[in-house]
Amino acid sequence: MLNDTLTAVPRECGDCPIRHRAVCARCDANELEQLEKIKYYRSFEAGQTVVWSGDQMEFVGSVVKGIATLTQTMEDGRTQMVGLLLPSDFVGRPGRSTAAYDVVATTDLVMCCFRKKPFEAMMAKTPHIAQRLLEMTLDELDAAREWMLVLGRKTAREKIASLLSIIGRRNATLNLSDVTGSVVFDLPLTREAMADYLGLTLETVSRQISSLKKDGVIHLEGKRHVTVPDFDRLLAEAGDDSDGGMLA
Amino acid sequence: MLNDTLTAVPRECGDCPIRHRAVCARCDANELEQLEKIKYYRSFEAGQTVVWSGDQMEFVGSVVKGIATLTQTMEDGRTQMVGLLLPSDFVGRPGRSTAAYDVVATTDLVMCCFRKKPFEAMMAKTPHIAQRLLEMTLDELDAAREWMLVLGRKTAREKIASLLSIIGRRNATLNLSDVTGSVVFDLPLTREAMADYLGLTLETVSRQISSLKKDGVIHLEGKRHVTVPDFDRLLAEAGDDSDGGMLA
DNA sequence: CGGTAAGTTGAGTAGAGTCAAATTTGGTGG
DNA sequence: CCACCAAATTTGACTCTACTCAACTTACCG
């Protein structure tokens, strides 16, 4: 079954769906050819752990398809999600040998991997890669800081609204549609994963979603399919005047 | 009086106290000479705002001396500190025109500034700068994620202990002393600033500090001078087994 | 059609927030 | 050098949001 997934993945960088957004975005044809030589695809099933915190990192890479989470765990089991990895996002840190976080596949996942050593060697010779990685890292830093405001200062209701607006906005970006008026999307996370992202308990997440539903801010079909009739209303509930956290 | 401060600042990069840690750390003599041409020093008094969120960023630069904070504010006034800037830390984001956060001098502050355009131009030609900036940004991203765990999952008491252990560890690093047994330092932040960092109210900060004092985890002389008799005890109170958040 | 995981809802509690004094402190002008 | 002031900090009393524990419902999968 893993092969089915692999078959769906492009063999050539030219066909790659994340070609223009990933760490390789700035590479020219020649550089891409070099990358082709050291890349390989790996597939993971939903729920599988991609990397364990503290383990040796033998590769870095990009998410091609699916969603993964970056989480930290305390000894007593308290868990905090510190990043949501979407297609084109980069995993791993050049120059560091062990992983600092758990990476877990939330959905079935395909990654484009590079063995760490050759990648680092290539990065040193190829400014285009380092430049793009810097740009992506600065974006992630902004997203992390945006999230610090959510975690530190927002109420449970605002936290949920913030998460929904981020997911909604991202979906709109991918579909190239406007975030005006009504927005529809599927939640890629369980209530528990949402709780881990928001620094809440899953019960509180559930209650606040019910409350937003009751107040007509969102509609639900099943547990995952969300309709936001008025996106500005959602943003107001999130405590953001205009555009709050852009995550990816 | 500004001149007094300026006089204390090196004119030559060679004498600079942050020479080997800042964004210029990897530059060779020639590159440094180019940087000298576009650099200038600016001093700020404690309490002064260095950059307003949303403003045009006409410069980027490094903290040379003193401490600054990076904060976000919601319309209703809730604020969250998203970074603590220490000597050698970089301010500003190449490739972005407006500031995303308020930068405020917590103590008297000296910055080594570069006009944004020339700096960006130089970065494009000088891999050493971009490399070092990538490294620093990755470190900041790790620190931000570490802090997300603190904000999202720790109790008030653990938050305070986490902040104290970070400050204690940083001081030890600067003094090249071990973080074994007893550690002594001055708090660089008011209770309110600590609260903004930790996502708490200043009253809660005060109560938890009193509680840690009562339990003998710390001793206080005046409001700012802290003695930690047993650093491991403090780490245990922070919920960290070994080394929790390293901030700088 | 049952079994299990995911999600919802309820009741009671606790930890942090709010509002309101009191107290300490560092700095200043006399 | 000392009294005084404004700001920072501490402490108290009360409230409320989000957590805990628990039962129940729903959806999905074999």
Q: Which nucleotide is nearest to B201 (CA to C1')?
A: C17
Give residue A71's region: left, alpha or beta (phi > 0; psi -120 to 50).
Answer: beta
Euclidean distance between CA atoms A196 and A210, whole angstroms: 18
Buried b (16+ CB within 10 A) or exposed e, B139-176: bbbbbbbbbbbbbbbbebbbbbbbbbbbbbbbbbeeee
**Strand C proximal residues, B:117-176, Cβ < 7 Å:** 155-157
A145 and chain B in contact, CB less than 8 A: yes
Mean pLDDT of B182-195: 94
Spell out the residues 6+ positions from residue A142 whose beta carbon is closer than 8 angstroms to its own.
A246, B93, B100
Q: Please give, rounded to a whole number of angstroms, the shortest distance from the CA of A223 to a CA of chain B.
A: 25
Nucleotide nearest to B222 (CA to C1'): C25
Q: Which residues contact A30 (CB under 8 A, 6 or more apart)?
A: none
CA distance to partner chain B, nearest, from residue A168 (Å): 21
Three-class secondary structure of residue B82 per DSSP? strand
Name residue, tokens 């009086």: B1
* B residues 80-99 lying closer than 8 A (beta carbon) to A: 80, 82-83, 93, 95
Per-residue CB contacts under 7 A with strand C, chain B residues 59-118: none
Residue whose C-alpha is closest to residue B162's, from B199, B132, B133, B111: B199
Q: Which segments of chain B does DSSP mark as H helices, in order?
A: 2-7, 29-38, 116-125, 127-153, 156-175, 191-198, 202-214, 231-238
* Interface membership of A222 toward B (CB under 8 Å): no
CA dihedral B50, B52, B56, B61 (to 10 degrees): 30
3-state SS assignment for residue B191:
helix
Does the CB of B204 fall within 7 Å of any strand C atom?
yes
Q: Does A101 touch chain B (CB under 8 A)?
A: yes
CA of B193 to C1' of C13 (A): 31
Evaluate if the CB of A215 falls below 7 Å from strand C.
no
Longest C-alpha distance within chain A, in Å? Answer: 57
Distance from CA of A91 to the nearest CA of B (A): 12
> What confidence tens digit (pLDDT) does each residue in B7-63 have?
456 678 888 999 999 999 999 999 999 999 999 999 999 999 999 999 999 999 999
Does at least one atom of strand C sit less than 7 Å from the CB of A207? yes
Q: How confident is the model at residue B176 (pLDDT cuts 50, 70, 90)?
A: low
State chain B's mean pLDDT as an integer.
90
Give the whole-angstrom CA distance, residue A9 versus residue B27.
42
| Residue located via tokens 């729920």 | A47
Contacts of A194 in chain B (CB under 8 A): none
Cβ B153–A101 below 8 Å, yes or no? no
Nucleotide nearest to B207 (CA to C1'): D10
Interface contact B70, partner A, CB < 8 A: yes
CA–C1' gap, A194 and D18, in angstroms: 15
Q: A82–B145: do the CB atoms touch at under 8 Å? A: yes
Quote the pLDDT of residue A2. Answer: 41
Query: In a mutagenesis test of the A interface, which of B57, B82, B101, B132 is the best target, namely the one with the most A β-carbons within 10 Å?
Result: B82
Q: In chain B, where are the structural domains located?
A: 2-147, 155-238
CA A85 to chain CA centroid, Å, is 2
Enter the pTM of the model: 0.92
pLDDT value of position A242: 58
Identify the CATH number of the domain defined by range A2-147.
2.60.120.10
- The answer to whether A231 faces chain B, any CB pair under 8 Å, is no
Smallest CA–CA distance, residue B27 to chain A, in Å, is 15
Block means of pLDDT (10 residues each) for chain A, length 248 residues? 49 89 95 94 94 95 95 95 96 94 95 96 93 96 97 98 94 75 92 98 98 96 93 95 49
Residue A21 belongs to what H/E stretch? Answer: none
CA-CA distance, B138 to A135, in Å (whole number)?
Answer: 11
Q: Which nucleotide is nearest to B156 (CA to C1')?
A: C16
Residue B4 has pLDDT above 70, yes or no: no
CATH, range B155-238: 1.10.10.10
Judged by average pLDDT, the poorest of B27-31, B59-63, B176-180, B203-207 is: B176-180
